[in-house]
Amino acid sequence: MKLENKNTFDDGTCDDKLVALASNGINGAFRLLVERHSRYVAGIISRFMFQEEDCREIVQDTFIRIWKHLPEFDGRNKFTTWIYTITFNICLDRIKYIRCRPECRFSEEDIEHHQAASGCDDPAPALDDALLAGAIQKYAKGLGATQQLIFVLRDLQDLPVEEVCRITGFDTVKVKTNLYYARRFIREKLIKGGYL
């Protein structure tokens, strides 16, 4: 590990080393972890179709929780898996909270903004892909919180089942069962909506 000065680390410093340094109060180590993983966390959260303000707040909440629980990270799993688990739990809590407030809904503007983020040179396939992606994400909101999160982790984030199990704490059977019902629900909605 190269130390340019007491508070600066190079990008080659591994996460486990930074976690150890940050846990011991070394300045700059946690800041580098945040810089390194903030886009990763924001990417996870954006898949859940939260409103933009909620996304920013959830990113902050995630890193606050990571900071508070940093000494508990034991290195048995990858740091990114640990981050995913924390983000998963915060998103699960937020989805449950939103569903308890019927006046709080995702707007069409949020869906359009999310669709536009895909950006492609050829507008025709991009439009078809954006419409299908928007429909999938819209219908995913109708899933139960656990099914929605498992669907996002497995099918939208493209994580292997084993990784989804580590993140959620569920066994393979529970993950695959929830995924099966989530996919079936979304497929039925897509057929009914004329997307398939």
Q: In this predicted model, what pLDDT tens digit does every residue of 62-78 receive, in sequence order?
A: 999 999 999 888 888 88
The domain total for the chain is 2
Tell me which of 137 and 109 has the higher pLDDT.
Answer: 137
**Best-predicted range by mean pLDDT among 53-57, 142-146, 180-184?**
180-184
Report the C-alpha gap between 138 and 186 in whole angstroms.
9
Q: Given this model, what pLDDT does residue 145 score? A: 86
Cβ contact 54:94 at 8 Å: yes
Q: How far is CA 67 from the centre of its chain?
A: 18
Q: What is the domain-level CATH number for residue 144? A: 1.10.10.10
Residue 3 has pLDDT above 60, yes or no: no
Q: Which residues contact 182 (CB under 8 A, 6 or more apart)?
A: 140, 143, 147, 148, 150, 151
Q: Quick one: pLDDT band at residue 128, thresholds 50, 70, 90?
A: low
Q: Are residues 34 and 14 in the same domain?
A: yes
Q: Given this model, what pLDDT does residue 185 score? A: 94
Domain limits at 131?
A: 107-196
- Please state the φ and ψ torsions of residue 78, each to the nearest 5 degrees: -65, 150
Q: What is the domain-level CATH number for residue 79? A: 1.10.1740.10
pLDDT tens digits for range 89-127: 888 888 777 666 544 444 445 445 444 544 444 444 444
- Burial class (CB within 10 angstroms; exposed 0-12, middle 13-18, buried 19+) of 107: exposed
Q: Are residues 93 and 11 in the same domain?
A: yes
Q: Are residues 98 and 111 in the same domain?
A: no
Q: Given this model, what pLDDT does residue 181 score? A: 95
In the structure encoding, which two tokens stand for residue 147, read together? 């099914």
pTM score: 0.60
Report the largest interatomic distance among the alpha carbons of the chain, rounded to a whole angstrom: 61
Report the C-alpha gap between 33 and 3 in whole angstroms.
16
Q: Are residues 67 and 139 in the same domain?
A: no
Q: Half-sphere exposure of residue 86, counting CA atoms within 13 Å on the CB side?
A: 26
Q: Are residues 40 and 91 in the same domain?
A: yes
pLDDT tens digits for range 12-62: 678 888 888 888 888 788 999 999 999 988 888 887 767 778 888 889 999
Residue 177 has pLDDT above 90, yes or no: yes
